[in-house]
A and B are shown apart, each in its own frame.
Chain A
């Protein structure tokens, strides 16, 4: 592991600790001006602890033996973004963790640049990242949607499953994606956001699945270097 990676990982773990502490403090003291006078400090405190877990996981990714440009980049986002979000969930208590988390993210980003083209990495990973964002939306709304919420959680799982299956069976991946995504949108047709998310999941996910298959077929005619 390079020095930069080492530093990024250490800083990221420190950020996770500070953010977790902010969440625990919010859970303990409840709503006050330092936490931003939240209506639901218990929920938001727990959410802050979860964000700290994401930061820690992102920092630990860097300890892999041979991190790639993509994994360093993902780690950078995984440290900086939750750290910033934690300021909205835990108020001023989360500021130290946010500052340290962004620093860790910047270090991981610097490492990613040394390992390959950031632009190409982003371009290659973009469809998957977009699908992941949409799946998180499904998951989040599924978690609060009452009895029909399980459809949202299943939908999010279906997106992940479809991505895992895309290189093995285009047809199966397509079926999993469609059958997983459509029911929640149908059950919450009036919610605007879920049908919109479902349309985007299919509009991005189906071409992604089929492009994976095309790439596989084209490989047979590749001229070696």
Chain B
């Protein structure tokens, strides 16, 4: 060691002392009773604590931010303890008493980063533990937030896949009718349509690439969906001042299912037209509220020539139909081809929704908002999980239906009657939307009937359904008061469906 001061002499001229010692005083061990083991007022290396320049803080006494001085003091004390082996008692003695500067042989001073903290106190340990835990939680929250952001948890219904729902009334002329048609209901939200506008005529085509496969083995739902689109098209054309003439199945082209001729007339804005943009399938549980007879009577008045409506609203009929629905759904998930073809139309994340602008997704399942959000944040489901949810939800949906409605026609396999039945189904759905009723298509039984026919299986569901609803069932739905608001489903815009 180099002793820079002893016995009242001036500091030595040693380079070590000259560089490191600011001032020294004669020790007074007897007076202080302290054991001085290290250096006192050595000039410390420039220290910064966070944003704080400690040298500046010292110079500006009294410092403007006393908290900073506290932090500097703590840092310098820590430095002295580590560098010179001084005790807390030694440090306290420095204030005004002076100290002998006993400097160790000149050696590079450690950098601030090399000065480790003093032995950790319990308080310090807990502080660090808290900071560490807070950091872990914030990182986890950040991951959840990113996932939630990526899945659009707080921006449901935004993006290109939903623009058609917002701007459908901004179109003019025949395009306005097409803009409404693309918002129609369709099985699995497959939107199996295409349109061509020639002057004042709109041709409605079947886009047979958009099939749901084994779920619609005999093209029943496919054509019903086209009927739904035709109904929207007609309602919108009339609201935009056209008189319409609809020719179903004109037979001039295999995929041309209807021609709607428009001629000038007086705008007729119906209540059904007004709710085209907010019609949704509601797959949530319904409340126990019974379906008033007046409501069913009003909906029955919507029937059109060639398609009728049958109600199943007494408890026995409802229970029988509900049981049949669950059986059909179980058969559906047990049929691997049907299950796979159904899952083809399932959109697991926001990117898929925005890319495809069709299909089903978790927003449409009818879950509570928090469960729906968790479903989005967690990884997407596989087919088995989707099937399990489908079966569970069907059981719950069937049990909570206030009434089941059946659209009947003479021949459920006639293209023209399928289109006509589809038009009625769309009118019923729009009426429900206009009256804040929950409405959901229940296709499982008819899907299984057609699937059994396709495969040559024993007809398991045909007769039980006929016993409940009579002959000629084309499609079924349930109505009631929903417990959860339904969400918008993605839509292909006009530009993507015009030929």
Contact = CB atoms under 8 A, between A and B. Distances in A.
Contact of A126 (B66, B76, B131): B131
Contacts, number: 155
B435 to A, nearest CB: 25
B138 A200 contact: yes
Contacts of B76: 225
Interface string A103-128: 00000000001011111110111110
B149 A219 contact: no
A188 interface: yes
Residue among B52, B158, B160, B372 with max Cβ neighbours from chain A (10 Å):
B52
Interface stretch (A19-27, A92-100, A156-164, A189-197): A189-197
A118 B66 CA distance: 22
A192 B154 contact: no
Interface of B (DSSP majority class): helix
A137 B373 CA distance: 17
B483 interface: no
A117 B116 CA distance: 10
Contact of B142 (A71, A137, A225): A137
A149 B128 CA distance: 35
B118 interface: no
A220 B73 CA distance: 13
Given A127-B131, A134-B141, A119 B113 contact: yes
Interface stretch (A7-15, A48-56, A173-181, A210-218): A210-218
How many interface residues does chain A have, given as a range?
A: 35 or more
B50 A121 contact: yes
A68 B53 contact: yes
Contact of B154 (A188, A207, A216, A222): A188
B276 interface: no
Interface of B: 41, 46-53, 58, 61, 65-67, 69-73, 75-76, 91-92, 94-95, 112-113, 115, 128, 130-131, 134-135, 137-138, 141-142, 144-145, 148-149, 152-155, 158-160, 351, 354-355, 368-370, 372-374, 377
12 contacts: A39-B159, A40-B159, A69-B50, A117-B113, A123-B128, A125-B51, A130-B138, A141-B145, A192-B370, A196-B141, A200-B138, A225-B76
Would you list the 8 A-B pairs with minimal beta carbon distance, nearest first? A219-B66, A116-B48, A190-B369, A124-B50, A215-B67, A70-B51, A193-B148, A144-B155
